[in-house]
Each structure stands twice: as C-alpha cells, then as structure tokens.
Amino acid sequence: MALEDAKTQIDQAFTRAELRGLSFENAFGGATSFLRRRYSKDLSGAQIAVTGIPFDQAVTNRPGTRFGPRAIREASSLQAFDAPYGWGYDPLSELAIVDYGDMAFDYANVPEVPARIEAHLAGIINAGVVPITLGGDHFITLPILRAVAAKHGPVALIQIDAHSDTWADDDMSRIDHGTFLYKALKLGLVAPETTVSVGIRTDNPDTLGVTILDAPSVHQDGIDATLARIRDVVGDRPTYVTFDIDGLDPAFAPGTGTPVWGGLASWQAAALLRGLKGINMIGGDVVEVSPPYDPTGVTAVAGAHVATELLALAGWGLRKEGV
C-alpha cells in the first residue's frame, strides 16, 4: 500500500480521475464500488463494466441473493491495492474498468424483469464493453445470454455449479433459477456440444447433451485434466462463463440458497479460472451469493474473488486483441 496516497485518497468510487490504476484509500473507509472502480453510466472509453442484478425471486430454497451485489462490492474493497495474484499482469492498471452500478427494476412487477435484464446487458454489450455481472439468483443468466447471443450468436458456455439447471421447463415465461440452462439450450442461445458444466453434484437424468465434469471427477482427475476437457469443449469460440457460488463446497461458501456438500475448494476454483487464460471470453457472472446465511462474510469474499478472476480472464483476451 502507498501510505502517502492513503493519506489523501478517499471515495475513489466517485473521485477517481482515471479508469485505470490501483487504489490506496484506507481499506476500512470510503464509498464501496467493485474494486473501488469509478461508478459511471458513461461507457465511452471503458473496456469492462461490472454491474449488479439484485434479483432473487426465482430461488427454490433460501432467498437473499438480492443482497449479493452489495456484499460482493464491499468484500472486493480489500482487493483494490494489488494486482490479482497469479495472472502475470495487472488488469486494474492496464484496463479501463467501470462499475456500472445496479440495474433498476420494480420489485413488485416481476414479469417485466427478464426483458429489463436483457436490455440492461444489451446496453453494455452493444457499446463494445465486456460485462461482468454480480447476481442475484441464477435465473438472471438466461436473459443475459439472450443479450449476449443477440450480439455474438450462440456462444460456448462454461458453467461452474452444484446443479445442472437443465430440469425440464418449457414455459419460457416462467422465472426459475433451476432451469436457466434448459431454456438457453432450447432457445438456441447456447449449444450442448459447446457447453460444459463443472462441479455438478446433484442428479438430473437429462443433461441435454451437455458435457458434465462433476465434482468427484475434478477431485480425482485434477486441475490440468479438467482444464483440458473444458478447452476441448469450448475451443476458440466466443465463451460466456457463469459461476454459481454453490459450485464451491459449503465450507468455502455457506451463504447460498441451495448448498450441497462435496464441492470445489476455493483453491480449485481459482486454479480453474486462472487456467482458462486465453479462452475467447466475452462475458461472465457470479450468482447466488446470499449474505443473510453467512454472518462471517466468507461467501461474499469468495464471490468478490470469483468476479475479479472473471475480470482478469476477460482482460487477458482484451490485451491479446490490443483493444
């Protein structure tokens, strides 16, 4: 930490002059944005936009993920002083990143939310900016994928999750966090041959042809073998990454709606995300962080690190393209 800067820097979420650079305001003070990036609705000059979707209507068990974006931002405020570990570059200093804030919506008009999410993400994507989204329950990934596919066509998908989310549901107007992938496949937003689900540990008799790398296989086969299989599936196609925090074992992320034991350890998740360096990532999200069920805050810490890794992963591709 640059102590001379800590004496003068404060509220970098609003006062930051540049979109690039580390922050050195006191870790315990200041307005909290994601990684202390500047809040802005102006995307001109931005390369990556972090945005929150505080929506949790669709959960099957414990609610509370509407508080996820706020908790993740607060947890991330401790990570703004250094480059993310293990990447070999500093995305905070090299890339123009904004915190785009949360999506506004009428909490009492749930049927309009899917279209609002799609429009919100389309505004970021059509500006040529890579979105990193903080959820929110896992339903939000479906309208996000609608916006992504409208720009890029059907994309490859990497899902890290305890659940396959391919339970049959042909009512496309129904809002459910457990069927987002079923509907994305049926709508042609993603294709089964270019979709891989990692960390699964709940039974579903019909995975619709998706490649399943369940949690036991990750534990037994190891990181390198798992990464090789993921790369075989997605190749160099435009790829979206969705990370349900319950992909982690409850020991590492107890604050979620549907925890399942036997999951990934945090070190495994970090190694997988860093090991994907070089994929053609065009967006990502972390979902299902439910702070009310974790008074320690460790789940929000995990969510903040996942979002930072997604940001660094997307940034690696931007550096390669010279954007």
Q: How far is CA 261 from the centre of its chain?
A: 21
Cα distance between the two ends of the chain: 29
176 is in an annotated binding site: no
* Unique residue bearing structure tokens 């987002």: 180
Q: Is 161 annotated as a binding residue?
A: yes
Instruction: Please choose, from the candidates 240, 222, 314, the residue with its C-alpha nearest in 3D space to the C-alpha of residue 277.
Output: 314
For residue 56, give the H/E element and its range.
none
Three-class SS of 145-204:
HHHHHHHHCCEEEEEECCCCCCCCCCCCCCCCCCCHHHHHHHCCCEEEEEEEEECCCCCC
DSSP state of 35: G
Q: Is 244 annotated as a binding residue?
A: yes
Bridge partners for 132 per DSSP = 50, 284
Taking a C-beta distance cutoff of 8 angstroms, is the pair 100, 125 a contact? Answer: no
What Rg, from alpha-carbon coordinates, does the chain have?
Answer: 18
Q: Is 165 annotated as a binding residue?
A: yes
Token pair for 281: 């990532």
CA distances from 167 to 96, 164, 201, 205 (A): 39, 8, 14, 9
Binding residues: 138, 161, 163, 165, 244, 246
Binding residues for Mn(2+): 138, 161, 163, 165, 244, 246
